């Protein structure tokens, strides 16, 4: 149902499957036959898990039992007994502009050798930070996605929603240099033996560049660079609605998290612009 009717992406389907299988392992009876009492009894077993994980599993169970009830497979809905966990959206990890610049210096130095892997890594970094792409969006780009002279690309993001994202001249140049090394039959911009570069490999590449730049690898991931893209744009005066469009967020509440991250700019704004800041003491 999620695949054919809701149009859920492959990663979403995998997440639902993992959460339902995890719940099934913690139950003594088959998941589809579980009672409300059995579902409530999951809470002590999940006490050590993060609130976000419990919330995700609870949502998966609710969706699953809603489906069983809608299809007439069950007349009741035991998921009604589940308590929604209190969730707090964590602040995203970010890098400051100097740290990002150090990563670019390392990547550019390596790319100067002309080695194909180094050219690829620089192109990946330019698109991650310069366009704010998600990891899956980036590694699955078709070969002709970035075209010379076209300052944007259109892609289908999370949930299949299309959006237009900017491509800087630096990113376009890096992609062009990398594309020259690709074989004629390559269909992906970042190909691999199994199709395209995996998200795991992208994660490894980004962390390796960070380590060379003197940044603790555990602080860096492709998504951290996406957060840096958003935070640094907001600090530069970008409009929140424009940022929502660029990031492909369905709900602006998701984008608003970056207003909490950029606290230094907000404090400075109050100190400089508030009427009392200019009033004599």
pLDDT tens track for 59-91: 899 999 999 998 899 999 998 888 776 655 555
How far is 133 from 155, CA to CA, in rounded Å?
10
Q: Catalytic: 158? A: yes
Q: Catalytic: 147? A: no
How far is 91 from 258, CA to CA, in rounded Å?
8
Please, are residues 117 and 205 in contact by the beta-carbon 8 Å criterion? no
Q: Of these residues, 56, 134, 163, 227, which one is catalytic?
A: 134
Question: Would you place residue 180 in the very low, low, confident or very high pLDDT band (cuts 50, 70, 90)?
Answer: very high
How far is 278 from 118, CA to CA, in rounded Å?
51
Residue of 160, 111, 108 lying closest to 136 (CA atoms): 160
Domain chopping of the chain, boundaries: 10-81, 97-267
Question: Mean of the pLDDT values across residues 21-28?
Answer: 89
**0.85 exceeded by pTM:** no
Q: Of these residues, 93, 158, 170, 199, which one is catalytic?
A: 158
* Least confident span in 83-92, 101-110, 144-153, 233-242: 83-92
Q: Of these residues, 110, 201, 223, 265, which one is catalytic?
A: 223
CATH (residue range 10-81) = 1.10.150.130
What top-level class would CATH report for the domain 97-267?
mainly alpha
Q: Catalytic: 260? A: no
Listed ranges 9-23, 41-55, 103-117, 240-254; the one with the highest mean pLDDT: 103-117
How far is 47 from 232, CA to CA, in rounded Å?
37
């Amino acid at each position: 149902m999620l695949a054919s009717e809701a149009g859920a992406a492959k990663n979403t389907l995998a997440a639902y499957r993992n959460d339902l299988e995890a719940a099934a392992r913690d139950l003594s009876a088959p998941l589809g036959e579980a009672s409300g009492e059995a579902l409530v009894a999951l809470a002590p077993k999940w006490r050590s898990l993060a609130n976000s994980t419990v919330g995700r599993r609870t949502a998966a169970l609710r969706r699953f039992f809603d489906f069983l009830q809608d299809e007439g497979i069950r007349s009741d809905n035991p998921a009604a007994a589940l308590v929604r966990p209190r969730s707090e959206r964590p602040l995203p990890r970010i890098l400051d502009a100097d740290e990002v610049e150090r990563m670019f210096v390392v990547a550019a130095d390596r790319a100067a050798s002309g080695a194909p892997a180094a050219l690829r890594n620089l192109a990946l970094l330019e698109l991650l930070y310069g366009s704010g792409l998600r990891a899956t969006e980036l590694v699955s780009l078709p070969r002709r996605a970035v075209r010379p002279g076209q300052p944007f690309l259109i892609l289908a993001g999370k949930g299949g929603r299309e959006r237009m994202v900017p491509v800087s001249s630096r990113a376009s140049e890096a992609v062009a240099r990398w594309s020259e090394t690709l074989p004629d039959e390559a269909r992906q911009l970042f190909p691999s033996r199994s199709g395209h570069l995996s998200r795991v490999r992208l994660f490894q590449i980004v962390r390796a560049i960070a380590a060379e730049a003197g940044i603790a690898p555990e602080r860096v991931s492709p998504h951290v660079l996406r957060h840096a893209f958003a935070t640094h744009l907001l600090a530069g005066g970008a409009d929140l609605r424009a940022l929502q469009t660029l990031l492909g967020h369905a709900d602006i509440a998701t984008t608003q998290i970056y207003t909490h991250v950029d606290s230094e700019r907000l404090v400075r704004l109050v100190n400089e612009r508030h009427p009392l800041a200019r009033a004599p003491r």
